[in-house]
Amino acid sequence: MHDRRVVVLLVFFVTLGQCVLRKDRAYWEELGTNELDIALRTKYNLGVAKNVILFIGDGMGPNTITAARIHKGGESYKLSYETFPHVGLLKTYSADKMVPDSASTATALMGGIKANDKTLGVDASVPHRDCNASLRPEAKVESLAAHALRAGRSTGFVTTMRVTHATPAPMYAYSPERNWECDAATPAPCKDIARQLVEDWPGRDFNVILGGGRQSLIPNATSLENDPTSAWACSRQDGRNLIEQWQTDKGVRNLSYCFVENTNELKNAPANTDYLFGVFSNAHLPYEFQRHAESPSIVDMTEAAIKVLQRNEKGYFLMVEGGNIDMAHHRGRARTAIDETLAMEEAVRLAYNMTDPEDTLIVVTSDHMHSMTINGHPERGDNIFGTVGPSRYDGLNYTTIAYGTGGPGSRQFEAQMVNGTNEVVRRDPSQDDTTSFMYEQIAAITLEENKHGGGDVAVYASGPYAHLFHNIHEQHYTYYAISYAARLGRYADRPTENNAFSIQANIILSSVSMLLVALTVL
């Protein structure tokens, strides 16, 4: 467990130094000695993680975090989870792809195996879109959420995406196609993801479900000014109203439940609520900068979720997804992606303050990265969304942030008369507001939209057994580390280690066992 006072002190010094852009020797020595002091004070927490909160910043690669840090407080600033005592890297490739999608990576994070691209909740024996293969019981993967329920703990998720989308779905569904979110898109005999959430275990027993996706849950969803329907989302056609089914199920079982549709209802849910279902939009929730009063923020939803889950004395598992980070990156809008990253960072800060690091493991990571880069040699303190240059090749400035791939809006070239000849040249970014939420940074290759990146992503951890994140790990290792820390699944009966002596004892016993095996072989 880390010392909160030391962390706060460091953040104070870092922030103070950044505000005045100090460069003197004493400043750097102060930063270095304070970081060393924190490292020397760090101790392993060997308690049981009664509670687990897994934050997934969809598409939040290392460069995204760096840009968010610079935008919020400057180069020396630290985001809330960057003060966590333990950090590692996750290799994000899927079973069949070097660069993965969100369904396969979420399955890895919460299911403990690497799956094929665009499949969820099933192992790699299931090819993409093979319905019959996905129905085999042995192909299905039980998630951390399911293990938590089996252990008598509460569970749930928060997302800024549809509740049937690729990241939350592997918690409760088994599908060879991530887009089979409602009946209109799903072939028989497979069952759509929305029905699996409401009708099947473990989804029907989730204590918290908060996000968007009304279109997949009810027939004839209505498009409103602040809540349009989306051609990207699946529209239910079988007449089932799964929201009403969820309410009926909870009523028949005499459970304390509440369904909410806006911010006010969410914040005023009864204190005795054990099952909270909130659907706040037809498709995904709006970006933070476009959010209206009736649409809750990721912070609002995280707070409401923890309040419900904390009612269970045995503990809980909660997944929180900042999905609009990915949505913004797909459109090449770096300012919006960074804004969404900082919104999730505030949710992490709130969760940390609402819980006790002695018994709550908080893990912050991403499912995959995007191809966003931070370029050139801007001055310290410059706007991360500004320009730098000029290029000696064409004499024009360029944006500090760029992408490897981008949609049509990122093709910033135009025909101009150059030396009497009509040539295609790069557009001068000084003609545009590069700090706008809607500005699309230039990309090397123009596609229909920005594609994912295949690099490693960071993982930050605080709480019991947070030190298990310490290296370059396979992404599905996250499932095993959390399971061990929280005594879930295969580790439900593991002995509790209360001090460093028990670790040394285990090492000695393991060494003795290996020696005996070696002697036996000889």
205 annotated as a binding-site residue: no
d(C-alpha 141, C-alpha 482), whole Å: 16
CB-based contact 200:140 (threshold 8 Å): no
167 annotated as a binding-site residue: yes
For residue 182, what is the DSSP state?
Answer: S
Residue 102 a catalytic site member:
yes
The closest of 488, 361, 497 to 86, measured between CA atoms, is: 361
227 annotated as a binding-site residue: no
321 annotated as a binding-site residue: yes
30 annotated as a binding-site residue: no
341 annotated as a binding-site residue: no
d(C-alpha 16, C-alpha 9), whole Å: 11
Question: What is the SS3 string spanning 251-276?
Answer: HHCCCCEEEECCHHHHHCCCCCCCEE
The closest of 69, 98, 85, 79 to 37, measured between CA atoms, is: 85
State the catalytic residue, choosing from 102, 104, 134, 281: 102
Give the CA dihedral 256, 356, 354, 281, nearest 10 degrees.
Answer: -60
**Main-chain phi, psi angles of 264, to 5 degrees:** -60, -45
Residue 206: CB atoms within 10 A of its CB come to 27
d(C-alpha 429, C-alpha 383), whole Å: 14
368 annotated as a binding-site residue: yes
186 annotated as a binding-site residue: no
326 annotated as a binding-site residue: yes
**Percent composition of the chain: helix, strand, coil (DSSP 3-state, to 5):** 40, 20, 45
Q: Which secondary structure element, helix H or strand E, spans residue 441, and what is its range?
A: none
d(C-alpha 484, C-alpha 427), whole Å: 53
Residue burial 508-517, b: 16+ Cβ < 10 Å; e: rest? eeeeeeeeee
Task: Residue count of the chain, please give it.
Answer: 522
Helices (H) and strands (E) in the chain, counts: 15, 19
Q: Which secondary structure element, helix H or strand E, spans residue 465, and what is its range?
A: none
Query: Catalytic amino acids?
Result: 102
Known binding-site residues for Mg(2+) equal 58, 165, 167, 321
Known binding-site residues equal 58, 165, 167, 321, 326, 330, 367-368, 452
Known binding-site residues for Zn(2+) equal 58, 326, 330, 367-368, 452
